[in-house]
Structure 1
């Protein structure tokens, strides 16, 4: 366990879990908390014993974005450097999530607003409680989306729907977020932890090389041509073909036993 004030960090069975831990403030970001999250994400991204990363929130919220009282103090003091540090930390967090070869799951247990929404959108997969809500609430207090919202949101829902969500700043309920593609799956609130653990365990048992290369290819495909992606698939497939994991997968299939992939 790392010594963070507002972040809980756990590792077990190949799964690293980051829990935003400021439940009395709906896990809203203030002061050093974004930096702690950035350090926690980086730690798990580099950890050799972690194959899957899970991000969730303590209490009844995932993350309410920036702490309003903290933001008011920054505005009153005209503390541009502290505001820049908050935004820069968010950029570092979402960039690390996107660049790590490991699958990253957001377990959205409640409201995800502003930067908290975009933290969830940065993750590869979003499992949500039926009590969860999500929204680009920035302009309610006169602000512009940050933490990658203008990048992730239109890629998920298209530019027109993204602008509608940004313009209205409405919180979308779980059913609508699922329909829009903001959430991958919605489950009963009391099943979220178990469903998240089951998915994380499933992914942790998968071949790490194949998953890492697939993540890279899918995210690269947005600005590539079909011929370029076919070349990338050939490159990645041959890398997998040469791995010990392929031999293990084939032998396990033929031997009618579960494979044990070691990422080699």
Structure 2
């Protein structure tokens, strides 16, 4: 796959940039988006001329706002069950032997927040906003979105993020350890380029070994994610989950307990 419709792929100075190109949807992903990102990650991840991968979203409003609810048929279209493309995408970000840097240019909500969590590093604009929405719309991200988030920012904060579904500023994300740096919006590209340049000066084999070593301690979470995604596919077929999606699309408050 080389002709992408949902993403843009560019290489410059040893850095591959993968940009979700759905600004009209606040860079929410559908199944096709995930498939294209997976293809691009394979393409960049095993290219020896590339030393770092940047993941970002088009425009100035959003990095990624998770799954496109308008494509929510129990699987965000694409290859059917939501677990297949999303689970593979999250795992591949960790699997490729190159640092993957999230360039967070705006909203990183829901599945977008999980992508930031999965990336090796994250650099955010001071306009960026983070948070989860799953329990508000009849969804959840088992595995990396929950268990690994707790590894990154701590149990109590991770539970707060999921149970309350609040929004967090870039500075709050920095304080909790979700991102590595926050810069003024107009300096975001320069800062990302600076980090990439520093990485490219280092031994690629040593970095690949380091990444594998970091991952080894938490790779069991991939099994949790696989199990959880199967359960999620079943949950998406329930009236309770449907209520969340319908309320979101109708712009009203959901009444989940009426569907139990």
- Please state which band the TM-score falls in when normalised by the shorter chain: 0.7 to 0.9
CA distance in 2, matches of 1:189, 1:149: 26
Q: TM-score with structure 2 length normalisation?
A: 0.78
CA distance in 1, matches of 2:58, 2:203: 31
Gapped regions of structure 2 (runs ≥ 5): 220-260
Secondary structure in 1 matching 2:97:
coil
Match of 1:169 in 2: 165
Gapped regions of structure 1 (runs ≥ 5): 224-264
Match of 2:65 in 1: 64
Match of 1:21 in 2: 21
Secondary structure in 1 matching 2:27:
coil
Secondary structure in 2 matching 1:142:
coil
Contact 1:19–1:57 (8 Å) recurs in 2: yes
Contact 2:30–2:77 (8 Å) recurs in 1: no
Cα 1:81–1:195 change in 2 (3 A) is closer
Larger radius of gyration: 1
Measured after TM superposition, the shift of residue 160 of structure 1 is 2.0
Pair 1:187-2:188 in alignment: no
Measured after TM superposition, the shift of residue 43 of structure 1 is 1.3
Cα 1:144–1:212 change in 2 (3 A) is same
Provide the aligned length of Structure 1 versus Structure 2: 219
Secondary structure in 2 matching 1:150:
helix
Contact 2:104–2:125 (8 Å) recurs in 1: yes
Contact 2:8–2:18 (8 Å) recurs in 1: yes
CA distance in 1, matches of 2:194, 2:69: 35
Q: How does 1:2-41 map to 2 (within 5 A)?
A: 2-41=2-41
Match of 2:150 in 1: 154
Contact 2:8–2:19 (8 Å) recurs in 1: yes
Measured after TM superposition, the shift of residue 100 of structure 1 is 1.6
Measured after TM superposition, the shift of residue 220 of structure 1 is 2.4
Q: 1:114 aligns with which of 110, 117, 120?
A: 110
Match of 1:87 in 2: 83
Cα 1:42–1:86 change in 2 (3 A) is farther
Let me know the Cα RMSD of the aligned residues.
Answer: 2.2
Secondary structure in 2 matching 1:145:
coil
Runs of 4+ residues deviating >4 angstroms:
79-84
CA distance in 2, matches of 1:179, 1:19: 26
Q: TM-score with structure 1 length normalisation?
A: 0.77
Measured after TM superposition, the shift of residue 10 of structure 1 is 0.8
CA distance in 2, matches of 1:192, 1:184: 13
Secondary structure in 2 matching 1:62:
strand
Measured after TM superposition, the shift of residue 222 of structure 1 is 5.3
Secondary structure in 2 matching 1:32:
helix
**Can you list the C-alpha shifts for 1:117-150, whole angstroms capped at 9, x where unaligned?**
1111110000000000111111110111257202
Cα 1:148–1:174 change in 2 (3 A) is same
CA distance in 2, matches of 1:82, 1:6: 12
